[in-house]
Amino acid sequence: MAVVAPAIIIILIIIGWAILGPFQAMYSQCYLARHLDTEEIAELPDMNPSVVRIMPQFVAERYARDALQYPRFRLGTADIAFVAEKPCWVFPLIPDGSINFFVLKDKGAAYVDMNTSRKSTHIVEKDMEIGPGMGIRDWYKWKLYKEKYWVDYEDPYFVPVDEELYIAVPIVSYEYHWRFPTLYTIPKWSGTALIDSEGKIEFLTPEEVLEHSVLKDQKLYPERLTRYYVNSFRYVHGIVNKLLYHHEQLEIAEVPGQQNEQPFFG
C-alpha cells in the first residue's frame, strides 16, 4: 500500500499537468495581448544603413572558422554584438573535446562584420574565468543560478571594451497570476547579467542596463521574449477565436524552408 500511494500521486500530478498546462500557456498570452502597450504605425521607421545585416550567419561562421588558429578550441553558438557601432556576428572560442571541456577556459571571441559581403574577421583573445562551453563549475549558468535562481538566462554574447571582454546575458523573470482553474506566469525582461574576464558578475536592472557604458548601443531585449510577445497577439480576440475562427488573427511571417525565423538574427 505504501508503494501504491506515491504512484497514484505521481499519476494524478501528471494528469493535472496535462489538463492545466494548455490553460497556463493560453492564459499567459491572453494577458499579454490585453495589456501590452502597442502603437500602430502607418509606415516603417527609417533605418540606419550602417547597421543593416548583409552577411548570413552560415557564411560568417565559415569565415570565423577559417580565422580560428587555436587547435584546442572551436566556435560556440553565434550571436550578435556591436563593435565600434557596427553589427558583428560573434562566436565565442570554447574548449573542443571532452577533456578540454573540463580543463581549459574560453579563449575569447571571433567577430565577423555582418555589414558587408566581404570577409572581415578579427579575434579578441582573452582568457575567461567563466563562460559557455566550459566544465560544470566554470559554466556561466552554474555561477548565475547560484546567485539568482528563479529566472531564465537567455543566450550570451561577448562585448569587447578596450582591453576587456565581457559576457552579457539577458535575464527573463516571471510574474504570477491567477485565472480559474490555474496559476500562470507572465515573462518579462528583468535586466542583464554582465560577466567580466575574471568571472565577476554584475546583475543590472533594465534601467541600469540602459545607462551602462559596456552595454551602450548593444542589443538588449531578449529576442525570444520579443517573439513570444508578438505571438501573444494571436489571442487578442480571445481563446475561442484563436482556436476556431482566426478573425483578425496576427501571425508572424516565416521564411519557407529556412531555419531562420523572425526577428532575423540567425
Question: pLDDT at position 51, please?
Answer: 77
**Tens of pLDDT, residues 131-144:** 999 998 999 999 99
Q: Is residue 168 part of a domain?
A: yes
Q: Which of 48-62, 186-200, 247-261 has the lowest mean pLDDT?
A: 247-261
**Tens of pLDDT, residues 100-120:** 999 999 999 999 999 998 999
Neighbours of 78 (CB within 10 A): 20
Q: Is residue 193 part of a domain?
A: yes
**Tens of pLDDT, residues 124-175:** 999 999 999 999 899 999 999 999 999 999 999 999 999 899 999 999 999 9
Question: pLDDT at position 266, please?
Answer: 45
Q: Is residue 34 part of a domain?
A: no
Please tell me whether residue 201 adopts helix, strand or coil conformation. Answer: strand
Q: Is residue 158 part of a domain?
A: yes
Q: How far is CA 66 from the centre of its chain?
A: 26
Residue 158 corresponds to which cell in the numbers above? 561577448
Q: Is residue 73 part of a domain?
A: yes
Contacts of 123 (CB under 8 A, 6+ apart): 67, 68, 69, 93, 108, 109, 110, 111
More confident: 49 or 211: 211
* C-beta of residue 145 within 8 angstroms of C-beta of residue 169: no
Q: Is residue 3 part of a domain?
A: no
- pLDDT mean over 233-259: 82
* C-beta of residue 203 within 8 angstroms of C-beta of residue 147: yes
Q: Is residue 157 part of a domain?
A: yes
pLDDT band at 34 (very low <50, low <70, confident <90, very high): very high
Residue reference for cell 570554447? 94
% of the chain beyond a pLDDT of 70? 94
Counting the structural domains of the chain, the total is: 1
pLDDT band at 44 (very low <50, low <70, confident <90, very high): confident
DSSP collapsed to 3 states, 195-227: ECCCCCEEEECHHHHHHCCCCCCCCCCCHHHHH
Q: Is residue 97 part of a domain?
A: yes
pTM here is 0.88
Question: pLDDT at position 87, please?
Answer: 92
Please tell me whether residue 242 adopts helix, strand or coil conformation. Answer: helix
Question: pLDDT at position 9, please?
Answer: 78
Domain that residue 138 falls in = 49-231
Neighbours of 228 (CB within 10 A): 15
